[in-house]
Amino acid sequence: VQLQASGGGLVQAGGFLRLSCAASGSILSVNSMGWYRQAPGKQRELVATITGYGSTNYADSVKDRFTISRDTPKNTVYLQMNSLKPEDTAVYYCNAGVREIGSTWYLDYWGQGTQVTVSS
């Protein structure tokens, strides 16, 4: 199973970006998917998650600015980021709980990370 993230880049404060992350491989089903970020010198932190039923959860710092969504048949999760701030600068990682074909368990998988830089 692989998670391929894309959509990062350099944007001015107040701008927007849309991140995408697609899971591929021998996938039977995907439950929760999410986005995390890690800024230089800081720990990785949760940005937003979405369950298989569509329930969402956001970090307080991104509420009302970021929107997480998913395309379940495509095993893809998106993060629409609006009103970006310099403090949103970080490497963004996608995460998914995946049950592979022939497996009983869901395992956690991570994408490779995509850089988001917001200039002031």
* CB neighbour burial string for 10-28, b if at least 16 within 10 angstroms, e if fewer: ebeeeeebebbbbbeeeee
Tokens 């710092």 correspond to what residue? 61
* Alpha-carbon distances, residue 98 vs 9, 110, 118 (angstroms): 27, 10, 31
Mean pLDDT for the stretch of residues 97-107: 96
20, containing H or E segment: strand 17-24
Structure tokens at 5: 């993230």
Quote the pLDDT of residue 100.
Answer: 96
Would you place residue 31 in the very low, low, confident or very high pLDDT band (cuts 50, 70, 90)? very high
pLDDT digits (tens, 9 = 90+) for 2-14: 999 999 999 999 9
Quote the pLDDT of residue 49.
Answer: 98
Average pLDDT, the chain: 97
Residue 6 zone, left/alpha/beta (φ > 0; ψ -120 to 50; rest): beta
pLDDT digits (tens, 9 = 90+) for 52-98: 999 999 999 999 999 999 999 999 999 999 999 999 999 999 999 99
**Strand-pair category, 114-119 with 9-12:** parallel
Would you place residue 38 in the very low, low, confident or very high pLDDT band (cuts 50, 70, 90)? very high
